Chains A and B, each alone.
Chain A
Amino acid sequence: MACNLQTSFLPALKFPAEATLDKRRGNALVVCSVASAADSIMTASTPTGSAVVVRPRPLSRREVETSERKMTGTTGKFGRFGGKFVPETLMTCLSKLEAEFNLVLHDPEFQEELATALRDYVGRETPLYFAQRLTDHYKNESGCGPEIYLKREDLNHGGAHKINNAIAQAMIAKRMGRTSIVAATGAGQHGVATAAACAKLSLKCTIVMGTLDMERQASNVLLMKLLGAEVKSVDGNFKNATSEAIREWVGNLETNYFLIGTAVGPHPCPSMVREFQSIIGKETRRQAMERWGRKPDVLVACVGSGSNALGLFHEFIADEDVRMIGVEAAGFGLESGKHSATLAKGEVGVYHGAMSYLLQDEEGQIVGPHSIGVGMEYPGVSPELSFLKETGRVESYSVTDQEAVDAYQLLCRLEGIFPALEASHALAFLDKLCPTLPDGGKVVVNCSGRGDKDAPTVFRLTQGSSPGDNKRHPVSP
C-alpha cells in the first residue's frame, strides 16, 4: 500500500535548516509541549495561565520528537481534550495528514508560496483599525475608557478569516496529490473560501451544507456554485453537514481531501486550522508593537467552534499579561435551552473525532444548537479552546441574539463597518467589558467576517429602528 510506503519513508527525510523558520517555530513548539505535557497538566493542579507557559526548545530536540511521534502516532491531546476518536478506517489517513502538515511547517518553499498567496490573493495583512467613535461611545462620564481596535478579518478575500486556512490546506491537498476536496460549511464562509481556493488551484470541490443553513445564507450558496463547487445538501445544519462530509471522506480516502474549516475534528485537524489562522495573532502582535510599543491588554473574539478565536489568541498564550475573552452565542438566553454556548453549558464528551466540551442531553445524544449567527451554531468546540478554558487561560462569556443584532447596528452607525453576526457577538460583549477596564487599555476585537450575508436578517428584525431601542426580539427559526 502506498500509505505503508510513505510512513516508512518519512523518518529518513532531513529537515531543512532553521534560519528561515523562526517565525513559524513558535506555534509548532507550543503544539509539541502542550501535547506531550498532557500527563502533568491532567494530574497536577494548575495555577491559571501558567500551565501553558512554554519555553522554546532547540530545534534538534523537536526534530527528534517529531520523527518519534511519526512512528508512534501522536494523540494530539490538549490536556484531556483532543485526540482522534474516529473509525479505524480513517486512522492511517490522519497519520499521513499529520506527517504532511509537519513537513510543510518546515518547508521554506511552501511557506513562501503561502505567504505570497496570503498577500496577493487573500489581501493580507489586514489592518488593525482604531474605532474612534466606538471608543468614545464606551467612554464613561469622566471620559475614561479603553481604546478599541478592530482586527479587520472582514477585509480578507471572501469576507472572512476562513480563507487563511482554506488556501493553506488546499495547497497541502495538492501537494499530497489529492484531486478532490470535500468540505462542510455552516454560514457558508468556509464554503466560499474553499471553493475559491479550489478554483485557484484547479481542484474539484464539493461543499456539504445543511438545508437550514442554505436557506439562511443563500447568497453564499450562489457564490459557491459560481466558483465551480458542487453544493450537496443535507437535512439539518452544520453539525449534520460535518458528519456527512466525514462519511464522504471515509468513503473515498485516496482521492478525497477533507478540508476542515474550523478547529475541531480529529488530530491533526484542530492543530492545522489553528496553525494557519494564527497569522491573525502574529500580525496583531507586530502591529501592536509598531503602534503602541507593547502588546494589547485584552483580546476579544467570538467562539463558534473556535477558529478565529484561536487564530487571534494563540500567539499570545504565553503572555500572561494579555487577557483573552471568548464570546459565545447565548441565542434566546442560556436558560432557554436554545443557544450555542458550548463552553458555558456543555459537558465533556467525544464528538466529530475529538474530546471537548459538547452540548449533549442526558443520554449522550448531541443537541442541536441555535444562534442567529449561523456560524456560531455548533454543538461542539475546539479541543484546544476547551483546554484553555478549563485551565483558566481564556475567559468565556456569552451574548444573546438580540445583543448581537444591536451590536451589528451600532458598528454600522458608528464606524460605517458591517460586521458578520458572528463577529457582532464579540462586539456586543464590549458593553459589559468596557466599564471594567482602565483608561487607555488596549482592546483588540477580532472582526472575523463581514456582514453582507446578514443584512437581510438584521434589517428584517429591526426594520430600521436604532440600536438600544430593544423594541423587537429575534424571530424564532
Chain B
Amino acid sequence: MEEMALIGVKSQHSASQLPLRRKRLRSQLFPSCPLYRLYSIQRALIFKEITTLPAVTPKFQTTSVCFLCSLPPWVLATVHIIMAVAAFNSVSFVGLNKSEAHLLFGSGFGFPSTRLSVSFKAFKPMAAVAAVPAVGLSETFDKLTKQGQVALIPYITAGDPDLSTTAEALKVLDSCGSDIIELGLPYSDPLADGPVIQAAATRSLARGTNFNAVISMLKEVVPQLSCPVALFSYYNPILKRGIGKFMTIIKDVGVHGLVVPDVPLEETEILRMESIKNNIELVLLTTPTTPIDRMKAIVAASEGFVYLVSSVGVTGARASVSSRVQTLLQEIKQATSKPVAVGFGISKPEHVKQVVAWGADGVIVGSAMVKLLGEAKSPEEGLKELETFTKSLKSALL
C-alpha cells in the first residue's frame, strides 16, 4: 500500500501479495487517518524496520515521533498495544466479521502469534466509538412530556433468533424512533408470558444464549443507541447471580432500567436497595386486578415509569385493548404524576392511538415485535419487517 511504501516499512508481505480484499478494507478504514500513520511509523521504529524517518512524513508527525522516540521503549510498547487494541475495536463497529478482522490484523501487520478475533463472547474493555450517552427512563419521559409526545417502548427477547440479530434489532428499533427499549432475558419458565414470548425464550435458550453473552452484546451495542435500555428478567436468574452483582453488571454495560414481573411489591425491598445503589430504575407493574390502595403503594414505589398491564392474563396480542384501561389510567393519574406506560396485548397502530387518546404516557409493544422477528423466514427479513412495523407504530403516535 502507498503509505507503507512511503514510510519505507519493510513488511513481511509485499504490497502485491496482500489479497485485494485486505487492501480494500485497509483503504476503507485508514486512508488518511493521521493516527494510523503515526501508529505505523512508531511501530516501524520499535520493530526497527526503519532507522530514519522518511522524508515525506508531515511535520507534525515528525515532531510527535521525535518526542515519542525520547520515551523509554516500554512506554512506546504499551502505547503501541493500546492503540492497536483501540484500532482493532473500531473494526467491530464497522461491522466486520471474524474472518475479515483476521485479514486485517493477522500476519499482515506482523503480529507475532496472537490471533485476535471478534466474538460476542469476548469481554472488551474499551468502546472505541462513543455515541451520545442515553439518559435514564424518567428523564426520557420528562423530555417527551415537554414535547407533548408519547413514548414508544418496544420489547424483544434477547437471542431470538440469535444475539447478532438482537444487536441489529436494537439499532433498528432505536433508529425508527423508539424512546425506550425493553430487552427480555430468556428464562426457562416464564409465568407471565404467553405462547409467543415463551417460544422466543425456548428458541433463544436452545441456541445457548446466556447472561454473559447478552451482556457482551449489550456492551458493544448500548453505546450506539440514543435511547435507554431497560432489562426484563424473571427473579430466579437475578437471585442466582446475586442481586448486587447483577445490578452492578447491568449498570456497567449502560442499562438504565429493570422490570421483574414475578416479584410482588412486598419483596421488592432488596431489589430496590441494590438498584438505587447502582442507579438502575426499578419499574413496577400494576394490573386491572390490583385494588386501589395497593395500586397507590405500587405507583409510589415505582421508578422510571409505572407499567400498567392492560388485561388480566399473560402477554400476547389481543384483538382490542380493554376499555378498563381508560378508567385505570385515570385512577393512576390521580394517584401519581409519574409517567404511565400501558403494555400487554398492544399490537396495532389502532391500539396505540386508542391508548394514547386515553391518556397514556407510553405504549409498550412486545409479542407483536417478537413474533415478527422470531417467525420471519430469515433474520434480514425479520429486521426489515420490524423496521416497517415500528415506523407504523411511531406514526400512530405523532
Contact = CB atoms under 8 A, between A and B. Distances in A.
22 contacts: A3-B291, A4-B292, A83-B267, A85-B263, A86-B262, A86-B264, A88-B264, A88-B265, A88-B290, A88-B309, A247-B193, A247-B314, A250-B191, A251-B314, A348-B239, A349-B240, A350-B235, A350-B262, A363-B210, A363-B240, A364-B187, A364-B238
Interface in B277-298: 284-292, 294, 298
Contacts of B241: 364
A181 interface: no
Interface stretch (A89-97, A282-290, A297-305, A317-325): A89-97
B264 A84 contact: yes
B54 to A, nearest CB: 55
B188 A366 contact: yes
B192 interface: yes
A143 interface: no
Contacts of B261: 87-88
A3 B295 CA distance: 14
A362 B240 contact: yes
B266 interface: yes
B291 A1 contact: yes
A247 B194 contact: yes
Contact of B235 (A85, A89, A253): A85
B313 interface: yes
A271 interface: no
Given A251-B312, A349-B236, A366-B236, A92 B189 contact: no
A360 interface: yes
Contacts of A84: 264, 266-267
A363 B211 contact: yes
A66 interface: no
A87 B192 contact: yes
Given A88-B286, A89-B289, A365 B188 contact: yes
A89 B266 contact: no
Chain A interface size, under 10 / 10 to 19 / 20 to 34 / 35 or more: 35 or more
Interface in A328-354: 347-353
Given A73-B266, A364-B239, A88 B287 contact: yes
B304 to A, nearest CB: 16
A7 interface: yes
Interface in B238-270: 238-241, 261-267
A251 B188 contact: no
B289 A92 contact: yes
A366 B191 contact: no
Interface string B62-74: 0000000000000
Given A91-B289, A350-B235, A85 B262 contact: yes
Interface string A245-266: 0110011110000000000000
A161 interface: no
Interface in B73-100: none
A243 B314 contact: no
A442 interface: no
Contacts of A247: 191, 193-194, 314
Contacts of A243: 189-191
Contacts of A73: 266
Contact of A364 (B240, B286, B289, B312): B240
B250 to A, nearest CB: 14
A358 interface: yes
A360 B240 contact: yes
Contacts of B294: 91-92
A370 interface: no
Interface string A344-386: 0001111111000010101111100000000000000000000
B8 interface: no
